[in-house]
Structure 1
Amino acid sequence: MTEVAAVDEQTDDGHFARLVGLQRRWLARRGLSGRPWLILGAAPGPTIPSPLPAGIAHVHVKYSGHSARRNGLPPADLTLLLHKTTARDVAGLTIRNVLRMRRRPSRLARLGRRVGIAGFREAVITHAERDLLIERTLGSLFASGGRDVRPSNGVAMICYAIAMGIPTIVVAGISLEADGYDYDPTIRNRRHQAEDRAALRRIAAVAPQVVTSEPALAEMTGIPLWKPVAERQP
């Protein structure tokens, strides 16, 4: 059954609160709230944190499940996918819970807005709702004047986790330097660099629960470098 947690594409406080409420209830039903998250992007050569915190949820951005498999990680507990995602894009991956990004909600999602259904396997978030989450979490979309007017989907997923109240968010496979994708190094498409840099620096300033296992990302943005619990100060 498809989840229908989405709200009207408006930016007032009531709609934002409803979006967060519906998504939090959906995550709770799927056993994904109240746990640390590892958010994995698809930048080449990700630094996988080890050992991982107990009970961590594996969250994959788009097709980074291929990277996870290459690096010995389990299938995702939650995967951010696009409306245009094809079966070929995720071939060979175990897809469990899906946060689906669409330009506009489906008919079923519209029904869910009215009745407040928490849903089952798939949650819906529109492009406008993604922007709303970024703006409400960080205060800006960080448009740099180029062709991209918002940060990448990896940053959007971090903002989603912050808004959902995830207690610890470990970021891996997100880079401001590396070109291409871990699952397909032939693709050369470095977008959102200026927007991501500004957004990640803002995340470092306002969200201490966000850490990263990527040393270069920590150095460039100020996001704290993740350390195993045993290495942390009491």
Structure 2
Amino acid sequence: MTETVRQPFNADEEQVIARDFAPLSARHAAWLGARGLTDRPWFILGSAPDPHVPDPFPPRTAHVHVKYAGHAARQHGLPSGDLTFLLTKTKPEEIAGLSVDSILRLCKRQSLLTRLRRDLPFLKARECALTDRERDAFIIGTLGTLFGGSGDEIRPSNGVALIAYAIAVGIPQIIVAGISLDSDGYAYDRSARTRRHLAEDRAALAVVAERYPQVTTTEPSLSRITGLPLMASVAAG
């Protein structure tokens, strides 16, 4: 059976996807605010091996984990995730042993219940759904495109999507660690696994570096490749 290869969205399709970007950003900002996650620096941690950890962290930093990066956080003695970006297909054993507070859950579509949880902040729902299309809207709305055609994928990785999300909801300082464009494997699993989305992530993060000075990284290699500024305390060290 021949596998169907998805083609990148064209510019008109991307603009349709992103047309609700502003109200969508406001809804998510309200949910995050009810959970105490706005007006704070975010430390976004991916699962690339050997992440560089800030010392010290800015006051009131929220620890935000991409998928299973909580395992890497625990290895480095970091706090549990204030916000964790998970998938619908995430299995309990993949996050076993992790203390997960608020959850941003990627899914195919919203139900009435998940919409209510997001759109009625006074409920202070622990989990908020984010559809695939909404994830794409956050990337297009902040960075202008999904960067399809840069490589073999039709969009950047979920780590980059989470950075775009943080920008869109107005997080004042965003520190990125554990995201790599030149190493394979994971902090919690050193077995060799080829990393996807490299070309798309490189292109997307170069735009982040150009447009959004509130985003820095602790990773010297990521800074060198994309132009993201090194976090001041790391550069000084």
How high is the TM-score relative to the length of structure 2? 0.88
One-letter amino acid of the counterpart of residue 212, structure 1: T
Number of aligned positions between the proteins: 220
The answer to whether residue 140 in structure 2 is matched with residue 128 in structure 1 is no
Per-residue CA deviations over 1:21-76 (Å, capped at 9, x if unaligned) read 11111111111000000000000111111111111000000000000000110101
RMSD after superposition:
1.9
- The aligned residue for residue 18 of structure 1 is 23
**Superposition deviation, residue 107 in structure 1:** 3.6
One-letter amino acid of the counterpart of residue 136, structure 1: G
Residue 110 and residue 24 in structure 1: after superposition, are their counterparts in 2 closer, same or farther (change >3 A)? closer
- The aligned residue for residue 178 of structure 2 is 173
Deviates more, 1:185-194 or 1:70-79: 185-194
The answer to whether residue 120 in structure 2 is matched with residue 117 in structure 1 is yes
**Superposition deviation, residue 143 in structure 1:** 1.1
Structure 1: give runs of 5+ residues left out of the alignment.
1-9
**Superposition deviation, residue 147 in structure 1:** 4.0
The answer to whether residue 201 in structure 2 is matched with residue 196 in structure 1 is yes
Give 1:137's match in structure 2, choosing from 135, 142, 147.
142
- Is contact 1:212–1:224 with CA below 8 Å preserved after alignment? yes
Structure 2: give runs of 5+ residues left out of the alignment.
1-15
- The aligned residue for residue 211 of structure 1 is 216
- The aligned residue for residue 185 of structure 1 is 190
- The aligned residue for residue 89 of structure 1 is 94
- The aligned residue for residue 44 of structure 1 is 49
Compare the two structures and name the one with the higher helix fraction: 2
**Identity across the alignment (%):** 53
- Is contact 1:53–1:228 with CA below 8 Å preserved after alignment? no
How high is the TM-score relative to the length of structure 1? 0.89
Q: Give me the whole-angstrom Cα distance separating, in 2, the residues matched to 1:51 and 1:146.
A: 37
- The aligned residue for residue 158 of structure 2 is 153
One-letter amino acid of the counterpart of residue 38, structure 1: F
Per-residue CA deviations over 1:104-147 (Å, capped at 9, x if unaligned) read 1134124557xx31241011110000001000100011113654
**Partner SS for 1:228:** helix
Q: Give me the whole-angstrom Cα distance separating, in 2, the residues matched to 1:177 and 1:206.
A: 23
